[in-house]
Structures are given as C-alpha cells and as structure tokens.
Amino acid sequence: MTAVELNNLSQTILQGRSHQPNLGLVCVTSSQEVRFRTITRTRYLKLSESERENTLKDIYTDNVNRLHKALSFCQQHDIKLYRASSGLFPLNDWEDEIGAQVLEEMRDELGKIGQRAIELGIRIVLHPDQYVVISSDSPAVVQSSIQILQRHAKDLDLLGLPRSHWSLMNIHGGKAQRPEQLIQVVNELPEEIKSRLTFENDEYAYSAREILEVCQSTDIPMVFDAHHHICHEKLSSYEDPSVAEMFYAARDTWQNPDWQLVHISNGETAFSDRKHSNLITSMPSVYREAPWIEIEAKAKEDAIALLQKVWLGTSS
C-alpha cells in the first residue's frame, strides 16, 4: 500500500468516526473469543526435527485463523486498532530456522491478513516484548534485540502490512541514562525496522521528556503514555498541564499527525498505581484530540465498550 493510499485510509476512518478517537484492543479479549496458541521452548526442544515442523505448522495455521477471527471481532465491535500478539508465531526465530521456513511457506495465506485489515479499515500494530533492550550495556543483548525486531519486521512483511508507522513496532527506551547509545543504535537500524519503529515513555527509565528528545534526534515517532507519565512525574491528575504539553510534543514527532498513537491505562488501587485497572474511568481531556488510543485495561473489550458508550457516546 502506498503512502497516499494509507493517508486516504486514515482520513476515511477518521471521517467515519466524526474525528473521534479510534480505540484499540490489545492482543486478546477478556473472554475466550480472541486467544492464540503457543508452545514452550522446553517442549519444543524435546521434539524431533519433523515433529517440530509439523507442530509449528499446526500452531501457525491455527493462529492465522485466530487472527482472522480477531479482525472479525474488531469489525463487529467497531474497533479500528488491533495490537497483535508478539507471540503470534512462537519460536519463529529459533536457531534451527524451522519456524521461519514454515512462515515463508505460508506467505500467500499470511498476506491475506494485511489485505483484509486494509479492507476492514483496521490498523494492526505490534509491541515487541521486554527482552528488546537496544540501549543495553551488553553488545550481545543489543544484537539479540535487533534480531527480535528483524523477525517481527519480517512477520509484518509476510502479513502484507506496509513498512511505515501505520503498522508500527513500539518499544521502550530500555536501560536508563543511555540516550546516546539508544540514538546511535537507532541510526544504524535497517530500513525494515526503522520505518516502523516508535518509542514510548515509561514509569522508570525514560520520562516523556527524555524519550521525546530521543525521538526528535532520530526522527522516530513517540507514543505518549499518559499513565506512565503521571507515575514517573508523581502527578495527581491527567489534567496537569504537562500531560497536554507532552501529548502535543509527541504529535510533532509524527510525520503524519493523523497516525499519532497514544496509550492509556488507569491505576488498579490508586490513581498512580502502576498496575492496570479493569476499566478506564479517567481519561485526559486532551485525548479527545488523539486519533488512535490503545486501551491497556484488564477488562479489554469491556473497557472499550464502556468508553465507546460513556466517553465517546458512540455505542447504544
């Protein structure tokens, strides 16, 4: 899909929603409707080579079908953003390369996912796991992190998703107080990674201002997380002026502001509790200007439904 086509798609989605935010489902549902299969490394290593291939074929084929069901679920519930599980194709980066070969053989079927998502107007994004630390002191960890990102980028390619920040891969800054290392590694990343990479502020290592500076230095878009921000800065309200300030600053890092993505969660037991609550009952007022919001709540689709009804007024 060309940049022009993607711009047209995002405009169509926004117009269809009367410029209200598009809310995003994260990986699975609280019900059993959207679930994916996996396999442990321990079990996998006990299998023969032929058993490994057959097992991964079965799991990958099943998970592709389940991903189609996830898109259907999003369509049914008017959800225009879906964060795919980083474990969608388990062990596809294992050193025996069996998983990678199986996925290559499934290229045609995988490509239908991206095409269907485009037809449904559903944006698919990815959040690689916590093992991706490209600011690590260890060259081995940095190299391993890049390999993980390369594998995810290959998966997105196979799914027929564009090499752009429409189909982004979002990560945290990693090891604190290493912005120079972070910037250096980013500047040396291959195009298939950098063209999709975004950075998110967190509660511990990189504040919103710190990750913003990294994004500005590398031309990488920033995914602003308001709850991480209030936890890091020990704020008592989403209406603190710095929340809107960082939201707009993050928007300026997006070449296409209509693609800006933000995250929201609420504290489980208190406003600044880092653990996620079941529902979202408090939202920054500036987020009404956000085109895309990932809802990081334990109740998943129930949290989205409540926001659609109470916050957006779009659900009957």
Joined together, the tokens standing for residue 219 give 């031309």
* Whole-number pLDDT of residue 23: 98
Please report the sign of the dihedral spanned by the C-alpha atoms of residue 16, residue 18, residue 21, residue 25. Answer: negative
Sequence-ordered list of residues with C-beta below 8 angstroms from that of 21, at least 6 positions apart, any chain: 287, 288, 290, 291, 292, 293, 312
pLDDT value at residue 175: 85
The answer to whether the CB of 82 falls within 8 A of the CB of 70 is: yes
Return the SS3 of 290: coil
What pLDDT was estimated at residue 14?
45
Report pLDDT for 15: 46
Give the residues across from 125 on adjacent strands: 83
Three-class DSSP category at 56: helix
Q: Which helix (DSSP H) or strand (DSSP E) does residue 262 occupy?
A: strand 261-264
Q: Which tokens sit at 214?
A: 């990294």
Note whether 214 and 179 are within 8 A (CB). yes
Asked if 122 contacts 79 with a C-beta cutoff of 8 angstroms, the reply is yes
pLDDT attached to residue 4: 44
Prediction pTM value: 0.92
Long-range contacts of 100-103, Cβ-Cβ distance < 8 Å, separation of 24 or more: 100/151, 100/154, 101/53, 102/53, 102/56, 102/57, 102/60, 103/60, 103/154, 103/155, 103/158
Write the CATH number of the domain with boundaries 20-310. 3.20.20.150
For 91-137, how does the pLDDT look when each residue is reduced to its tens digit (9 = 90+)?
Answer: 999 999 999 999 999 999 999 999 999 999 999 999 998 889 999 99
Question: How many C-beta atoms surround the C-beta of residue 97 within 10 A?
Answer: 11
Per-domain boundaries in the chain: 20-310
Q: What is the pLDDT of residue 176?
A: 85
* CB-count exposure of residue 40 (10 Å: 0-12, 13-18, 19+): exposed
pLDDT in tens, the chain (316 residues): 444 455 555 554 444 445 799 999 999 999 999 999 999 999 999 999 999 999 999 999 999 999 999 999 999 999 999 999 999 999 999 999 999 999 999 999 999 999 999 999 999 999 998 889 999 999 999 999 999 999 999 999 999 999 999 999 999 998 888 899 999 999 999 999 999 999 999 999 999 999 999 999 999 999 999 999 999 999 999 999 999 999 999 999 999 999 999 999 999 999 999 899 999 999 999 999 999 999 999 999 999 999 999 999 886 4
**Gap between the Cα atoms of 245 and 37, Å rounded:** 41
267 DSSP assignment: B
The 10 Å Cβ neighbour count of residue 185 is 18
Residues in the chain, total: 316
Pairing of strands 292-295, 197-200: unpaired
CB burial class (10 A; 0-12, 13-18, 19+) of residue 180? exposed
DSSP label at residue 94: -
